[in-house]
């Protein structure tokens, strides 16, 4: 999670957060004058992070948990605008699969906080692995099955049948996730109550991230000339891991698997209708 004097950035995994983080760190670097430079070098010598040095746009703090939800926003920043990224469900599952973090769960510090998706997958994984001696060499359809099993851990608590993306999205951006999940319906989505149950978040589309981020930053008070570079930036990948241009999401799905994801994450598709078919084909991302 990134905290600034102007906004809070909530980093839901695999939606473009590495790109946004890089841009905000660049904007919040110390101003290039001699006094600031000396102050900056002194802080580095003392082991203090450069991102805390004041610059033109004030301080930026990259705080733990890195992938904290809206519930983790500290009271000191609770009144600021919240920025996050939204990615289509079909693309999100492919990105999770190819990034392969789920193969490395045993390497993580067990004391580190888990994301909603990570927490559920960690609990579904032992039984899943016992049934598949070839793990972690599983295909994409098997990975989606793992995600469905993880989602069913939550579904058992809420009496629902939603996919893992839906559970993660609701737990990131709604004030009372279990209550919202139990009430999800077309009528509820159309109600004013639904809007009040969600935190006030400006969503950037991962598929249009350069343009969306540039516009949002101007809206939140960053000068247009200072954010002009955002429109020209190429991909910035977590750990340098990304997909090739030929690894488009459509290649991972047959019609039955695509229909299954559409059904399980149906209300996310209804909240963001551009992600059904048309926007999912915008192109592969990290």
Residue carrying the six token digits 């906080």: 113
Please check whether residue 286 lies inside any domain of the structure. Answer: no
Question: From CA 124, how far away is CA 118, in angstroms rounded?
Answer: 10
C-beta neighbour count of 165 within 10 angstroms: 25
Q: Helix, strand, or coil here: 101?
A: helix
pLDDT given at position 36? 55
What would the two tokens of residue 78 be? 């609770």
pLDDT given at position 241? 58
- Omega of the bond leading into 65 within 30 degrees of 0 (cis): yes
Please check whether residue 245 lies inside any domain of the structure. Answer: yes
Question: From CA 65, how far away is CA 60, in angstroms rounded?
Answer: 15
Please check whether residue 179 lies inside any domain of the structure. Answer: yes
Phi, psi of 223 (to 5 degrees): -70, 140
Helices (H) and strands (E) in the chain, counts: 13, 5
Question: From CA 163, how far away is CA 269, in angstroms rounded?
Answer: 12
What stretch of H or E contains 225?
helix 224-227
Q: By residue range, what is the domain housing residue 121?
A: 2-281
Cβ-proximal residues to 36 (8 Å cutoff; 6+ apart), any chain: 30, 53, 54, 55
- Spatial contact of 204 and 85, defined as CB atoms under 8 Å apart: yes
Please check whether residue 58 lies inside any domain of the structure. Answer: yes
pLDDT given at position 249? 86
- Spatial contact of 86 and 11, defined as CB atoms under 8 Å apart: no
Question: From CA 102, how far away is CA 80, in angstroms rounded?
Answer: 33
Please check whether residue 52 lies inside any domain of the structure. Answer: yes
pLDDT given at position 280? 40
Sheet containing strand 82-86, strands side by side:
60-62, 2-4, 8-9, 82-86, 201-205
What would the two tokens of residue 193 be? 């109550």
C-beta neighbour count of 273 within 10 angstroms: 10
What stretch of H or E contains 83?
strand 82-86
Please check whether residue 139 lies inside any domain of the structure. Answer: yes
Q: pLDDT truncated to tens, each residue of the chain (286 aa)?
A: 999 999 999 999 999 999 999 999 999 987 655 455 555 566 556 655 544 446 789 989 999 999 999 999 999 999 999 999 999 999 999 999 998 888 887 655 556 668 999 999 999 999 999 999 999 999 999 999 999 999 999 999 999 999 999 999 999 999 999 999 999 999 999 998 998 999 999 999 999 999 999 999 999 999 999 999 999 988 776 655 566 677 788 899 999 999 999 999 999 999 999 998 644 433 333 4
The CATH number of the domain holding residue 129 is: 3.40.50
* Beta strand extents in 133-176 (DSSP E only): none
Structurally, the chain folds into a number of domains equal to 1
């Amino acid at each position: 999670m990134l905290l600034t004097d102007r906004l809070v950035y909530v980093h839901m995994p695999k939606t473009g957060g590495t790109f946004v983080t890089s841009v905000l760190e660049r904007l919040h670097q110390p101003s290039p004058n001699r006094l600031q430079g000396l102050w900056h070098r002194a802080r580095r010598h003392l082991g203090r992070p450069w991102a805390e040095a004041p610059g033109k746009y004030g301080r930026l703090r990259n705080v733990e948990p890195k992938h904290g939800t809206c519930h983790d926003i500290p009271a000191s920043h609770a009144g600021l605008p919240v920025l996050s990224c939204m990615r289509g469900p079909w693309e999100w599952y492919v990105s999770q699969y190819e990034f392969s973090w789920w193969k490395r769960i045993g390497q993580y510090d067990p004391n580190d906080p888990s994301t909603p998706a990570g927490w559920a997958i960690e609990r579904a994984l032992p039984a899943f692995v016992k049934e598949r001696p070839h793990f972690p060499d599983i295909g994409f359809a098997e990975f989606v099955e793992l995600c469905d099993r993880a989602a069913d851990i939550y579904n058992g608590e809420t009496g629902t049948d939603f996919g893992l993306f839906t559970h993660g999205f609701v737990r990131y951006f709604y004030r009372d996730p279990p209550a919202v999940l139990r009430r999800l319906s077309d009528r509820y989505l159309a109600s004013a109550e639904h809007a009040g149950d969600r935190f006030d978040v400006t969503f950037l589309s991962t598929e249009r991230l350069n343009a969306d981020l540039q516009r949002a930053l101007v809206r939140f008070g960053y000068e247009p000339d200072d954010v002009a570079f955002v429109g020209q930036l190429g991909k910035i990948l977590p750990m340098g891991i990304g997909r090739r241009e030929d690894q488009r999401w459509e290649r991972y799905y047959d019609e039955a698997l695509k229909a299954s994801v559409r059904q399980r994450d149906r209300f996310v598709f209804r909240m963001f209708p551009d992600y059904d078919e048309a926007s999912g084909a915008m192109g592969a991302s990290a």
